[in-house]
Structure 1
């Protein structure tokens, strides 16, 4: 910061500038050989808390100084350093107060920026705690939230952004957030808690979803950043925010496996595979049955699995399924019978079809 003061003011007045810390040590200078040396004129300024002019006769008697003017740098009514201009005092006296003011403005700006950055980091930390487990939050947590002006009662939905170019994607996404949005930066993705509009307690999602889709297009086309997004659903209360966060993490995970070509994954489209992924995490998803493996072992060309998936997509409609596969209805009937023989589950029965589908999903999301 001291060197920044030097560089910026020297461009304006074309004179050598020195900046000394609260002990009178030169920490920024247009003459690099003087860095880390004691400036006795600065020591006097710090002691008296007032400016000090050094003439030719004074310079000969003091250590580590040249002719010039030295003025205190004040912050919150305290002398925190000294700025000096080298040259005959009568020539540079008119510059003195302007240089002092510029130095103090640079200092104030730097401190304000640092405080804002600390506030941003603290907001991220508080947001991360909110996402993990709201039940563990204590009174100190809510005091910090209040000090930073964070309103946790605003309805929010979690959005996950995973850009290929992290630095560009992160900067762009941060610039897009609005005043009441909260976010957390991770090593390979961002979690944004997006403020949403409610009507009768329900998320009016059309506006938000259109905005998210526009973001994805802008990132891809304008910023040349390929990315993946996952969008959770709205749940009320602090626990609801945490729930929405878990939804987007699981949704992106299963969405990339099931539909790798998509850019945006909505939790509402992946509820069943997300449920399975969560069940797998707790070790209760393995009871879906070995039907996928039973079919695969006797399906060298993959025709049976393809037929079953198309049959599911077409909601069990025999004509549409046969048409989409370009096969005769009798061929379709034979394949469904073959699946029944291999698994002891008849795809034409809704309950057994669901069991077959869950077994396939289980394999796809592993």
Structure 2
């Protein structure tokens, strides 16, 4: 363990607010790291040098060899001297404060060490889950052992659940900790990893109830988590186009339509540009989405859009005029449906 300049400055500042004496804090080489006398920072403290040699408290009663009167005490943690604390003043006056400052310094240094360990552990954990997100090669023994350390069994198939929404609230951060195995992509997107059998439905049911979550997408169970994640992302992208009102998208349910997106598109989606640029707030495009989602049912579509039947018929005619495809004709509707999937 080493004494950092930052913690040395913190100890000196805080303790000099309490006691009316100058404090010097030296590192393991006797160099002054922090001091109430700023001019001495970076210089060798001769009293500290003597402490480091003798490994005992060294007191100076009268000024000698450029050393001012004071008490110099080693900072010992785990049987190792990591620095020296010096309090300037007559030893009989400052000696009681030396013990107080020494004990406080040890507490602060140990706390800093614990904080660093916690931070390093958190970073290692984040790095592991980030690698799990991206890794598309089979897991070696070392990576499997890392997973075991974090409580996830990567010898089992893994299922990725992507959630999107307002996920940066304090309440949601507390809630999501219960699932243990997750990675934050950004404040609005997270990925959960599930390896336990028959546990996905329970997780999804819990997630659905959270107001912060707008959309959930679930990949299949796969040997590699990154493959399931890619499936979940594809399910979200396609599902949001053809079923925009739904909250949960399963890759397994959308697999056919996702595969359609990999076909050569040419200019088949260009027919939708007229819809997007026509009307207020892309109302024709949205009308077509709802019409498809409601399986072409006129009544349900008007109810969902909160418009009159005649208004819907007018919009469908307008879509026909702009695209050359009639939504009421099955094959034309299928082509429009594919165009929505392919539309960027």
Q: TM-score range by the shorter chain?
A: 0.7 to 0.9
* Inter-partner Cα distance in structure 1 for 2:94 and 2:180: 50
1:284 correspondence with 2:294 = no
TM-score normalised by the chain length of structure 2:
0.74
**CA distance 1:11–1:274, shift in 2 (3 Å):** farther
* Inter-partner Cα distance in structure 1 for 2:316 and 2:53: 99
SS at match of 2:137: helix
**CA distance 1:171–1:243, shift in 2 (3 Å):** farther
Q: Displacement, 1:11?
A: 2.7
Matched residue, 1:212: 210
Moved more, 9-18 or 98-107: 9-18
Whether the 8 Å contact between 1:234 and 1:244 is mirrored in structure 2 is yes
Moved more, 202-211 or 37-46: 202-211
Whether the 8 Å contact between 2:162 and 2:218 is mirrored in structure 1 is no
Q: Displacement, 1:114?
A: 0.8
**CA distance 1:238–1:51, shift in 2 (3 Å):** farther
- Describe how 1:192-271 pairs up with structure 2 within 5 A: 192-193=191-192, 199=198, 202-205=200-203, 207-213=205-211, 216=212, 229-233=214-218, 235-236=220-221, 239=224, 241-247=225-231, 249-250=233-234, 265-268=247-250
Runs of at least 5 residues in structure 1 that lack an aligned partner in the other structure = 217-227
Whether the 8 Å contact between 1:288 and 1:362 is mirrored in structure 2 is no
Aligned residues: 331
1:342 correspondence with 2:287 = no
* Inter-partner Cα distance in structure 2 for 1:334 and 1:132: 43
Whether the 8 Å contact between 1:24 and 1:82 is mirrored in structure 2 is yes
Matched residue, 1:96: 98
TM-score normalised by the chain length of structure 1:
0.70
1:361 correspondence with 2:341 = yes
* Inter-partner Cα distance in structure 2 for 1:279 and 1:31: 73
SS at match of 1:107: helix
SS at match of 2:210: helix
RMSD across aligned positions (CA): 4.5
- Describe how 1:168-187 pairs up with structure 2 within 5 A: 169=168, 174-178=173-177, 181-186=180-185
Moved more, 300-309 or 177-186: 300-309
Matched residue, 1:4: 10
Matched residue, 1:42: 48
